[in-house]
A and B are shown apart, each in its own frame.
Chain A
Amino acid sequence: MSQARVPAPLMALAGLGLLLFLLPVAGLVVRAPWGQVGQELLAPQTATALGLSIFCSVTATAIALVLGIPLALVLSRTTGTLRSVLRALTTLPMVLPPVVGGVALLLAFGRRGLIGAPLYQLFGVQIPFTTTAAVIAETFVAMPFLVIAIEGGLRSLDQRYEEAARALGANSWKVFARVTLPLLRPAIFSGAVLCWARALGEFGATITFAGNLPGRTQTVPLAVYIALESKPDGAIVLSLVLLAVSLAILIGLRDRWLGEP
């Protein structure tokens, strides 16, 4: 197949655009203190941040799976205005500045918040500035990615599989567990990976709602931001780790998510 050629001026602009992506990555790779990578990774503060990041992002993804799959199911089965409202609500964290999300979470779960106040008064439970808060913040910003991916999967699912199951006498739970869920596996997988990646990189909502407490709420992105002042080498090494994870996800999901044949 012969395609129309891209006009030269557009080609040049495209090149500039690519450079904008490429240069920062190159900067990171070139300036990395390669000799000290191992040493920096094993530094107590770095290791703690990495461990916390993995714990928080995996927990957030697990919660997103438990809540997000049913949510996607409900979304895919509703129509009309209700659907638009639910959809807007679900995707809001995707477009909301994460800092605003953090503020909103504080107002809901903070000590004087909507839910936070009674929680504190009745049970003495305090959510902000705890690891729980970091997990909630990550779930808040990352779950939409999972919901959207799975809803897409549900919409492209051949309805007749579920109809065939119902005609064979399967109640709604059996249809879901034995037919819908297994058939959704690819969508669930790519949704979960995207959700996890988003959770891993989460910064704004976390620092606002959970603070920056080493060992409790200081995840890798927060550690990078802090370390940039005091020890830039550590910041670069942590950034490399996040870059590597992002690249691995992109390559792994290339076929599933980016729509390549």
Chain B
Amino acid sequence: MSLHATINVERNGFALSVDMTVFDGETVAVLGPNGAGKTTLLRALAGLVRITGHVELDGFVFDDSATNRHVPTEERQVGLVFQDHVLFPHMTVLQNVAFGLRRDGERIAGAWLERAGLGDKANALPSQLSGGQAQRVALLRTLVTEPRLLLLDEPLSALDVSIRAEVRRELARQLAAFKGIRILVTHDPLEAIALADRLVVLERGKIVQSGSPIDVTAKPRSRFVADLAGVNLLRGRGRGDHIELDNGATIAVPGAGEDDVFAVIHPHAVALYRTKPEGTPRNVWPARVEDLDLHAERVRVRLGGPVPLVAEVTTSAVRDLHLEPGTDAWVAVKATEISVYPA
């Protein structure tokens, strides 16, 4: 069992162009900033958006623009879970869960609710449920129909932070028990890493990176991923023993090759000085403090200059160096602290 999708959607100046394959039993998290096209991708897979391209699940063709084939949503057997439950407000919880079932609906739905510990809510209206309960019911309503493909659109983001962890655990359990393919759209990296086997990073309608959560965060290929991994990402051209950035600045690093490369520098590897440091580090640049951001015991300092970087320093360093927005400083990075990989 597998899903093959080549999806092109163009609407109001926005273009989504995605080519992806998902294997049976895999949970894929589609991660990306707002407006990247994540939800459009999900809606295209669900058949709610007409596409150019080809979508095929287990050899069954959903969409094929060449032959003008488009299987409507209701015939796809896909499960779709929305950001905020979208339970039918005029039906009880039981009727909601039974909606997608044909025969014996209410009995089967009742059994599912019992098993999920929501049996006492069967006759409640959705408006009488808490946010977490409503989302769990919405998930049950979809799972009970035994879809072949489960699509989740930011299933936790409408929930209060206080209950999100609990619902996430239940979601992880339900996803593990589900046999088919699971695709989860999220902009929350924690959600993606907790629930997914594989991340697909979508930016401006294109897949910029795909792989296991560890691989993706270790070698970011976009500012978005670098930000969520909390590292500095620079892109330039390899010049043997150094990298040349677009603005002409150079970063000394051995084995930079001769191609376009990414360089990742962890913020705690960025050292700050008020006067130009002498000695070992070959990478020393002037910088100006733009912004300070306190994270527990550490302070993240955003720096402008020929090589824009974020440095992570201790609170006492901030005090000793008198760092504040507008302060001129020097940054130094050891060449050995820079990891380089092909762009």
Contacts and interface: CB of A to CB of B under 8 A. Distances in A.
A172 B73 CA distance: 11
A168 B48 contact: no
A241 interface: no
A161 B74 contact: no
B198 interface: no
A207 B38 CA distance: 60
Contacts of A112: none
Interface in B78-97: 78-80, 82, 86, 88-90
Nearest to B77: A169
A169 B74 contact: yes
A184 B82 CA distance: 21
Interface string A165-183: 1111111100100110011
Given A167-B78, A170-B74, A178 B86 contact: no
Contacts of A163: 46, 48, 73, 80, 86
Interface string A190-201: 000000000000
Interface residues of A, number: 19
A78 B94 CA distance: 34
A105 B304 CA distance: 77
A11 interface: no
B86 A182 contact: no
B145 A168 contact: yes
A160 interface: yes
Contact of B99 (A158, A160, A170): A170
A interface, over-half SS:
helix
Contacts of A247: none
Interface in B93-120: 99-100
Contact of B72 (A160, A161, A166, A179): A166
B99 A167 contact: no
B17 interface: no
A212 to B, nearest CB: 45
B99 A161 contact: no
Given A178-B99, A183-B90, A168 B141 contact: yes
Nearest to B87: A164
Given A160-B82, A178-B99, A166 B73 contact: yes
Interface residues of B, number: 21
B86 A169 contact: no
A7 to B, nearest CB: 44
B79 A167 contact: yes
B100 A168 contact: yes
Interface string A102-132: 0000000000000000000000000000000
A78 B142 CA distance: 30
Interface in B39-96: 46, 48, 72-80, 82, 86, 88-90
A166 B74 contact: yes
Interface in B300-337: none
B43 to A, nearest CB: 8
Contacts of A169: 74-75, 77, 100, 145
B91 to A, nearest CB: 8
A172 B74 CA distance: 9
A167 B73 contact: yes
A182 B90 contact: yes
Contacts of B79: 167
B325 to A, nearest CB: 38
A167 B62 CA distance: 14
Contacts of A167: 46, 48, 73-74, 76, 78-80, 142
A188 to B, nearest CB: 13
A178 B100 CA distance: 12
B80 A179 contact: no
A175 B73 CA distance: 12
B151 to A, nearest CB: 8
Contacts of B46: 163, 167
Contacts of B73: 163, 166-167
Interface in A128-165: 158, 160-161, 163-165
B121 to A, nearest CB: 19
Contacts of B100: 168-170
A179 B73 CA distance: 16
Contacts of B142: 167-168
The 4 closest A-B CB pairs, nearest first, are: A168-B100, A167-B80, A166-B73, A182-B90
Interface of B: 46, 48, 72-80, 82, 86, 88-90, 99-100, 141-142, 145
16 contacts: A158-B86, A161-B88, A163-B46, A165-B88, A165-B99, A166-B48, A166-B72, A167-B46, A167-B48, A167-B74, A167-B79, A168-B141, A171-B74, A172-B74, A179-B88, A185-B90
